[in-house]
Amino acid sequence: MNITYHEQNRMFKLDTPHTSYCIGIVDEENFLGHVYYGRKLSEDNLTYLMRTKEAPFVPSENNRDRTSFLDTFPMEYTGNNLGDYREGTLAVRTLGGHTGVSLSYVSHRIYDGKEALEGLPATFGEKESCRTLEITCEDQVLHLQVILSYSIFADTDAIARSVKIVNAGEEAVYLTKVLSACMDMDNEEYEMMTLHGSWARERGIQTRRIMKGKQSVCSVRGESSHQEHPFMAWKKKSTTEEEGEIYAMNFVYSGNFLAQIEADQFGSIRAVMGIHPDNFCWKLEAGESFQAPEVICMYSAQGIGGMTRNFHDLYREHLIRGIYRNKKRPVLINNWEATYFEFNTQKLLDIARQASELGIEMLVMDDGWFGHRNDDNSSLGDWQVNEAKIDGGLKSLVEEVNKLGMKFGIWFEPEMISPDSELYRAHPDWAIQIPGRRGSLSRNQYVLDLTRKEVRDYVYDMVAAVLHSANIEYVKWDMNRQLSDFGSYGLPADRQGELLHRQVLALYEMQDRLTREFPNLLLENCSGGGARFDSGMLYYSPQIWCSDDTDAVERLSIQAGTALIYPLSTMGAHVADCPNHMVGRVTPFATRGYVALAGTFGYELDVTKIPEADRNMIPQQVAMYHQYNDLVRQGDYYRIAHYAENHYYDCYEVVAKDKSEALITYIQVLNRPNFHSRRIHIPGLDPDKTYVIENTEDWPEIEQTQYRGDALHYAGINIPPIRGDFQGRLLHLKAR
């Protein structure tokens, strides 16, 4: 890990454990250009790669073709409306109505460690484990300073990038676009990899060839969304799970975003990522600054899996915080699919008593405990206990649950307000809305305008009062609709374009306050399932509810797409009842347990009503979780097979960091009418070690129980035929 500036060549070089990233300064105007990103290099002078000696040359030598230079030069961060016709990263509007921006290098500093981003989630690192480069550029007409930050880490191949804009002029400017990262490079017939979906089918992996023009994913819904995800990668066609080159960007942000790759006329691509410019306009007064969120850049020469494991390591060690960061989570049971809104104290205690006898460690009371909420049409914003349901009050209920040896958790939706609520009747102007227009309802609710301090303080105080009233050790923070009607009674006319970003900042402020006031709380974020499963939220909560779809087969694709970037320890995953409430499918109880084992693990059912055979299996599943969770939570993840691609089976593996053990999960979705075994290859093991199958009782058909690591990887192992659909198996390997 090192960052150097070579003054003679005017080139910056950032070296992570296995990669190099190079930036150059050219011409007397000090244009800042992207030079190289890829495998680690010993060479310190690569400025020739920017083609400044080719026509049209640099402006000091050929200013008659200045626009041709600007439209071809590999910009490190680009301005607007002066001749670079590719996607820009910074755009402004002056009080005079002009939009031109041009940036030139001014200075830089290199320091150990990494400074926090004010009001924003971001990766962190101590002085001995992290190093940062800050490059200051300036528009000399507007006196607008742009500070580009790059941080690298000693233990992973990641580069954390962010941008800060400082108005050093004498009058205000309007920022109409501030993206956080830009990367220009030659197009080597790359394919673009993105994550797409909808409610209950989030983060499906999609790969397509990069064509001429712009291809993007984005959200303008006020959150990162079910539909798209703030991630993109581009890879060579030959790249596989474990071999080949891949580049990636992931946005540490939970609101509107743009992730785009543009292939131009000269065979180059420009990749950009940041806050979506639609409905964004930030008034920057003289002397003020604007901090853009962080983008994580990643390069791997070890295929898609290498990229994945780098993201996992970075987020586990440098993003997730709190006491549960490296800690096993309690096995919980949530009453949502068990009861929906139809519950009372006695019903909850019946579930808790049965669950505690089976080894389940926490009861979570979901929606319907407050106001007069007996369905999803009322009471959001009225965060007082409904004692008609919770007889004796919340404190009494929690004490009874605690007597059973169980923890207690509770559900909130703090960002929302129902038209049928005391809060809305008292403060209808507290909802986000456009004056004079009929508001757009979703799930019969509006969104609270958290940009107003009085609103977020009022809501936060109500939530905190509930948490102080009883021994509550877990909170599920939900958000069940996306934003619309972008207007705020708390912002002046010339700042209405700040609403969406300020709303995200307000959310971050509230969750930061919550985790500081209740440091021992286990916080799980949720948004209609997985609509806000992003790295920004992971800074505040170590886990996020992965999807409202709890069907084991659907979860295979959802969890595979999520694990492409995020550690298994972050994925909220439960064993649900069957027929599944979402898709109606019936899968074996054991298989549902195997699939949930790849996440935080818990139950989403009425344990008092399920078949006795299923109920009797719960202690075994809880024991399975405790046996393997340290490995699942901390190990290296490998995708062996994708059900979404082959349509028959799914297989993934977690290997201990020291290669001492591995757990392979094999799920046969559809059986084929033959008795031929299926061969799988198991990567990530120590080729020189012998591995023994520990759980031979689960594999009566296995002829051999010990294998060399290289044989398992390159020759593979045969999975015996399994009769039936939706069948699961675990293979636990231990090094001798």
Q: Average of pLDDT values for 308-328?
A: 97
Predicted confidence at residue 55, as pLDDT, reads 86
Q: Distances from the Cα of 719 to the Cαs of 370, 552, 557, 636, 638, in angstroms?
A: 51, 21, 21, 22, 17
Predicted confidence at residue 699, as pLDDT, reads 82
| pLDDT tens column, 329-382 | 999 999 999 999 999 999 999 999 999 999 999 999 999 999 999 999 999 999
Is the pLDDT assigned to residue 127 strictly greater than 90? yes
Q: Distances from the Cα of 602 to the Cαs of 5, 374, 535, 587, in angstroms?
A: 51, 25, 22, 17
Confidence of residue 544 (pLDDT cuts 50, 70, 90): very high
10 Å CB burial of residue 12 (0-12, 13-18, 19+) is buried
- DSSP output for 517-565: HSTT-EEEE-BTTBTT-SHHHHTT-SEEE--S---HHHHHHHHHHHHTT
Predicted confidence at residue 683, as pLDDT, reads 98
Whether 474 contacts 332, CB under 8 Å: yes
Is the pLDDT assigned to residue 56 strictly greater than 80? yes
Q: Average of pLDDT values for 137-152?
A: 98
C-alpha angle with apex 475: 594 to 462, nearest 5 degrees? 165
> pTM for this structure?
0.97
**Cis geometry, peptide bond prior to residue 579 (ω within 30 degrees of 0):** yes
How is residue 713 annotated by DSSP? Answer: I
Is the pLDDT assigned to residue 674 strictly greater than 80? no
- Within 10 Å of residue 107's Cβ, how many Cβ atoms? 11
Is the pLDDT assigned to residue 637 strictly greater than 90? yes
Percent of the chain with pLDDT over 90: 96
Confidence of residue 644 (pLDDT cuts 50, 70, 90): very high
Predicted confidence at residue 459, as pLDDT, reads 98
* CA–CA separation, 131 and 3 (whole Å): 7
* CA–CA separation, 141 and 94 (whole Å): 11
Q: Average of pLDDT values for 474-487?
A: 98
Q: Average of pLDDT values for 548-570?
A: 98
| pLDDT tens column, 98-125 | 999 999 999 999 999 999 999 999 999 9
3-state secondary structure of 566: coil
Active site amino acids: 478, 548
| pLDDT tens column, 14-35 | 999 999 999 999 999 999 999 9
Q: What's the whole-number average pLDDT of the chain?
A: 97
Predicted confidence at residue 705, as pLDDT, reads 87
Q: Which domains are seen in the chain, by residue range?
A: 2-318 (2.70.98.60), 332-634 (3.20.20.70), 640-735 (2.60.40.1180)
Predicted confidence at residue 556, as pLDDT, reads 98
Predicted confidence at residue 672, as pLDDT, reads 83
Whether 171 contacts 144, CB under 8 Å: no
Predicted confidence at residue 704, as pLDDT, reads 83
* CA–CA separation, 500 and 281 (whole Å): 10
Is the pLDDT assigned to residue 728 strictly greater than 80? yes
Cα 127 to its chain centre, rounded Å, is: 26
